[in-house]
Amino acid sequence: MNNEHLEYLTTLIREIPDFPQPGITFRDITPLLFIPKGRKYAINILVEQIEKFHPTVIAGIEARGFIFGSIIADQLDLPLAIIRKPGKLPAEIHEVSYELEYGTDSLQIHTEPNLINHRVLIIDDLLATGGTVLAAKKLIERASGIVVACGFIVELKELEGRIHLYDTPVCSVLKL
């Protein structure tokens, strides 16, 4: 993809000031989801970046990571594991708690089907401070999976979330 595609995708990300609380600028990707051409560009750019890590499982973080994760899993013909917030998975789980930029939360994943020794690529819509994806990485490792990389549609450069992932490769379509 070229710079023209990236410029176009940037126009499909809406900034919402003071959401979900004062001082936070929310990056809304729903316009990108609504426009098939934009969605396809974003997915194709991300798939080009992540294929080289040879994942055996895609893990999507609730909720928008489910959307992109399922499309990518289909394109790469891979299983999709879902990472959810508490109380939404009906079977035995692994769980990790973590800090957000505006509070605390937990993530869960089913223990079956297992991730033992699978090469897992974590997908979410946005990388901000890195708290959620770091928790997801710990969750995958707790489930004995191997996190080979993380992929995002948007990365907020000024928040430096990637530094919290240390040596885990980070792939992102847009760096805003």
Q: Determine the pLDDT at residue 2.
A: 78
What is the rounded CA–CA span in Å between residue 73 and residue 28? Answer: 23
What is the pLDDT, as a whole number, of residue 101?
A: 62
> Which pLDDT score, from 0 to 100, does residue 104 have?
83
Q: Is residue 85 part of a domain?
A: yes
DSSP line for 142-153? HTT-EEEEEEEE
Query: How many structural domains does the chain have?
Result: 1
d(CA 174, CA 10): 7
Does a structural domain hold residue 23?
no
Q: Does any domain span residue 16? A: no
What residues make up the domain containing 130? 53-175
Write out pLDDT tens, residues 115-160: 999 999 999 999 998 999 999 999 999 999 999 999 999 999 999 9
**Which residues in the chain land under pLDDT 70?**
1, 100-102
Cα–chain center distance at 19: 20
